[in-house]
Amino acid sequence: MPEAHMPEHVAIVMDGNGRWAEQRRRSRSWGHQAGLKALRRTARHGTEIGIRILTVFAFSSENWNRPALEVSRLMDLFMSALEKEVKGLHENGVKVRFIGDLSGFKPELRERMLAAQELTAANTRSQLNVAANYGGRWDIVNAARTMAEQARDGQLDPASIDEGLFGSRLALADTPDPDLFIRTGGEMRISNFLLWQCAYTEFYFSDVLWPDFGKDELDRAIAAYQQRERRFGKTGKQVRDHAHA
């Protein structure tokens, strides 16, 4: 695949772990464990083929509403994943970041997340953003609140608030918007993922359940992306003339 057509930033809603496990008459938590393996495969392949930024939805602000046992098993899985995966990611040159309201997690988990961020902060080969206790509306409200506080304190002129400034207060402030959004598991919805950031993102939906996702599926999604014409409000002719100019 030509490098030039590679999406720079891919966002993934890793959905379908529960159904994958239920089909096998196993617990939903077992499905989440298989989901972690799929993430490992996918992230590794993504780095190899030159995707610079991968942002994955691991736990939404609404996922707390699941049965307590599933939530607590997921927290255990996050704890052990942080222990086992971070070293390998670091050796591979991956910068890890967490986006979301980390104050919702217990201190031990939060500390591991912050430690992983610190350890990998200087890595430049690729970036893995893990959205945990993340909601697109939370992100937008959070940005609005911090700007309102600064305006109240006289540090920000409300007239200076534009899209650029607003975007700079969001969780992925220093990151280009996703080029490609992938959702597995057959549902065609955004489920409160990157609401602001996906304004011009290309969407790709797959029926494959997340634990079955991997190299070939990622290649398929990228191939579909490469067939799209991104117009950003312009006409197709404008876009094609510019591309050939």
Of 61 and 126, CB closest to ligand IPE: 61
Any idea what the Cα angle at residue 85 is, between residues 61 and 205, rounded to 5°? 50
> Is 174 annotated in some ligand binding site?
no
d(CA 55, CA 172): 10
- The CB-of-93 to Mg ion minimum distance in angstroms stands at 31
Binding status of residue 56 toward Mg ion by CB under 5 A: no
- The CB-of-141 to ligand IPE minimum distance in angstroms stands at 18
Binding status of residue 13 toward Mg ion by CB under 5 A: no
Q: Determine what percent of the chain falls in helix, strand and coil, rounding each to the nearest 5.
A: 50, 15, 35
Q: Which of residues 162-221 bind ligand IPE (CB under 6 A)?
A: 185, 187, 189, 191
Nearest alpha carbon to residue 216 among 42, 8, 34? 42
- The CB-of-156 to ligand IPE minimum distance in angstroms stands at 33
State the DSSP H helix or E strand holding residue 240, giving kind and residue range, or none if neither.
helix 236-244
> Is 189 annotated in some ligand binding site?
yes
Strands (E) located in the chain: 9-13, 53-60, 94-99, 126-134, 180-183, 202-205
Q: Which window, 14-22, 58-66, 99-107, 132-140, contacts Mg ion (CB under 5 A)?
A: 14-22
3-state secondary structure of 195: coil
> Is 169 annotated in some ligand binding site?
no
Binding mask 122-161 for ligand IPE (x = CB under 6 A): ----------------------------------------
- The CB-of-125 to Mg ion minimum distance in angstroms stands at 31
How many helices (H) and strands (E) the chain has is answered by 8, 6
d(CA 206, CA 15): 10
Residue 15 known to be catalytic: yes
Residue 63 known to be catalytic: yes
Exactly one of 12, 13, 15, 179 binds Mg ion (CB under 5 A); which one? 15
d(CA 234, CA 211): 38
Return the active site residues.
15, 63
Residues annotated in a binding site: 15-20, 28, 32, 60-62, 64, 66, 183, 189-191, 202
Residues that bind ligand IPE (CB under 6 A): 13-19, 57-60, 63, 74, 185, 187, 189, 191
